[in-house]
Amino acid sequence: MNQIKNAIGRSLPEYVEGYGKVKPFAGAFATEPDMTRQAPKVKRILPGEQKLVEDLETVFKRIPVTNGMTLSFHHHLRNGDGVVNMVLEVAAKLGIKDLTLAMSSVFPVHAPIIEHVKSGVVTRLDTNYMSGPVAQAVSRGLFPHPVVLRTHGGRGRAIECGQLKIDVAFIAAPTADDYGDLNGVQGQAACGSLGYAFPDAQYADNVVAITDNLVPYPLSPISIPQTRVDYVVKVDCIGDPKGIVSGTTKITRDPVGLRIAETTAKVIKAADLIKDGFSFQTGAGGASLAAAYYVRQMMEESGVTGSFALGGITGYMVEMLEKGLFRNLIDVQGFDLDAVRSLANNPNHLECGADFYASPFNMGAAVNKLDAVVLGATEIDTNFNVNVVTGSDGVIMGGSGGHSDAAAGAKITIVVANLLRGRLPIIMDKVLTATTPGETVDVLVTERGVAVNPRRTDLQEQFKAAGLPLKSAEELKQLAEQIAGVPESIKTLDKVVAIVEYRDGTVIDVVRQVG
């Protein structure tokens, strides 16, 4: 197979069987949209007609779900999700084959997918993130066709722009009325925002809501409207609350993590962003929250009121909203019970869809308005390309999610990482899998120093003036190698098990099978 090189020098096959022609990544903003929006068939329902259907099997027959269709799912129930497995059981029972699963994320709870692939019920997967047994099985070549890995904004884009055509969207709905109005803030499986399901509901040919909390019409608030929902199915339980939301996420106590977090806050301050209107995104992990902690100290000291915090929302961000440190939260996914409660009750806590959050192809996603984003990495190279897909053993253990989207949008994108991960350097000449291109990553903060992308000479100047411990990425790499040695490169087989699409739909890398 002929190989081509994309704009960051990754070698890609020109064509991948089961995926098609590869459109190589050409630069973070080099590829422009050249299509019209996805246009589903117009449907109607007559007054008096009912949407409530007794069970999923009946829905399958009414639609009807047939071999080769694409079924979509959102991941707000995370590792507590009961809907994917429930739907696939029905598909298997009815003898349906060759399904594509379009899941915004895959979790350990979704392990039964493996058996459905082995039996031919499922043959393709399209997702933004995966962890657990399915991810590991993908790396070992489980699927007959390569998995497509997208970003959260890229999935929204692919659905709206017609590259990811959904036959049936199954929406896990913590609360629904009998006419298909849905929200995620009420019910025993309340998960908060339903944002990742917004594009599915808007553009799928058929939309099925699955709920365990059916309430009288009309539901309020409405996150997904009746006008796009064809069927409503009431089941006993859509998910396990323990797996859906965590308790309050705690700030890390690891002293190295705290030092990195403190330096990160100093970086943001040195970039002159801690001022009224400041906007911010950070992850839900303990180290990311620690960065928020130090940023908050600075905001409080300077009496700054931020405009918004974005992304996956935690109780810590809710607290900052409630204390007046941010005017708004923009929430595509809630991580804990505080986030759910706040979205339900606070009008300044806004729910948004994946497209509004992060799509590169509309008239302006929220990531475009970000001042600063703090992101993680499993690997980063001296050109600042980041890997968040594969681990040090080459096995898939994540995915971009909103990583590439926020990196592309923010004024300053900061990757935080310990110099070593396990016993291996995190900085190298070339990451195994490129997820987020280096041109969208501005700063790397480690416990041994701060490296600035040479493209950002403005930041170099500011950071030097602020007395930050600057080093080049090469220097940090050498430091790491002095401690841990030069790691052996990972050996992979030839078979492409996953295509890593950049948010614009071009291919930034491929993942090959591990031995």
The single residue listed with the structure tokens 């027959």 is: 61
How many residues belong to the site for a copy of itself (CB under 8 A)? 63
Is residue 307 a contact residue for a copy of itself (CB under 8 A)?
A: yes
- How far is Cα 113 from Cα 88, in angstroms, rounded to an integer? 8
From the centroid of its chain, how far is CA 65? 27
The first and second tokens of residue 78, run together, are: 């995370």
- How far is Cα 507 from Cα 282, in angstroms, rounded to an integer? 26
- How far is Cα 473 from Cα 425, in angstroms, rounded to an integer? 12
Is residue 324 a contact residue for a copy of itself (CB under 8 A)?
A: no
Is residue 221 a contact residue for a copy of itself (CB under 8 A)?
A: yes
Task: Single out the residue of 158, 142, 205, 59 nearest to residue 497, CA to CA.
Answer: 142
Q: Which of 367, 386, 479, 511 binds a copy of itself (CB under 8 A)?
A: 367
Is residue 36 a contact residue for a copy of itself (CB under 8 A)?
A: yes
Question: Near a copy of itself by CB under 8 A, which window of 1-9, 68-76, 187-195, 219-227?
Answer: 219-227
Backbone angles phi, psi at 60, to 5 degrees: -55, -40
User: In whole angstroms, how close is the CB of 504 to a copy of itself at the nearest point?
Assistant: 9
Is residue 44 a contact residue for a copy of itself (CB under 8 A)?
A: yes
Q: Which of 10, 51, 116, 152 binds a copy of itself (CB under 8 A)?
A: 51
User: In whole angstroms, how close is the CB of 33 to a copy of itself at the nearest point?
Assistant: 4
Burial of 416-431, coded b for 16+ CB within 10 Å and e otherwise, reads bbbbbbeebbbbbeeb
The first and second tokens of residue 511, run together, are: 């993942």
Give the containing element (helix H, strand E) for 324. none
3-state secondary structure 76-107: CCHHHECHHHHHHHHHHHCCCCCEEEEECCEC
Q: Which is nearer to a copy of itself, 44 or 253 (CB)?
A: 44
Are the C-beta atoms of 440 and 187 separated by less than 8 Å?
no
Is residue 40 a contact residue for a copy of itself (CB under 8 A)?
A: yes
Give the CA count within 13 Å in the CB-facing half-sphere of 110.
31
Is residue 303 a contact residue for a copy of itself (CB under 8 A)?
A: no
Q: Give Dmax (Cα) for the chain.
A: 74
- How far is Cα 221 from Cα 224, in angstroms, rounded to an integer? 9
Is residue 227 a contact residue for a copy of itself (CB under 8 A)?
A: yes
Q: Considering only residues 230-249, where is the footprint of a copy of itself by CB under 8 A?
A: 230
Is residue 478 a contact residue for a copy of itself (CB under 8 A)?
A: no
Q: Which of 18, 24, 27, 33 binds a copy of itself (CB under 8 A)?
A: 33
Residue 220: other Cβ atoms inside 10 A: 9
Q: Considering only residues 336-365, where is the footprint of a copy of itself by CB under 8 A?
A: 347-348, 350, 352, 355-356, 359-365
Q: Which of 56, 207, 397, 499 binds a copy of itself (CB under 8 A)?
A: 207
User: In whole angstroms, how close is the CB of 287 to a copy of itself at the nearest point?
Assistant: 25
Task: Single out the residue of 473, 455, 461 nearest to residue 419, CA to CA.
Answer: 473
Q: Which is nearer to a copy of itself, 143 or 170 (CB)?
A: 170
Q: Which of 14, 15, 43, 323 binds a copy of itself (CB under 8 A)?
A: 43
Is residue 9 a contact residue for a copy of itself (CB under 8 A)?
A: no
Is residue 443 a contact residue for a copy of itself (CB under 8 A)?
A: no
Q: Considering only residues 141-200, where is the footprint of a copy of itself by CB under 8 A?
A: 160-161, 179-180
Task: List residues bridging with 279 in a β-sheet.
Answer: 308
How far CA 397 is from CA of 9, 227, 387, 400, in Å, comes to 23, 37, 11, 11
Q: Which of 330, 424, 426, 514 binds a copy of itself (CB under 8 A)?
A: 330
Instruction: Report, in angstroms and rounded to the nearest whole number, the Rg of the chain calculated over CA atoms.
Output: 22
Is residue 225 a contact residue for a copy of itself (CB under 8 A)?
A: yes
Q: Which is nearer to a copy of itself, 221 or 469 (CB)?
A: 221
Q: Which of 9, 68, 144, 218 binds a copy of itself (CB under 8 A)?
A: 218
Q: Which residues bind a copy of itself (CB under 8 A)?
A: 29, 32-48, 51, 160-161, 179-180, 207, 216-218, 220-222, 225-230, 277, 307-308, 327-328, 330, 347-348, 350, 352, 355-356, 359-369, 408-411
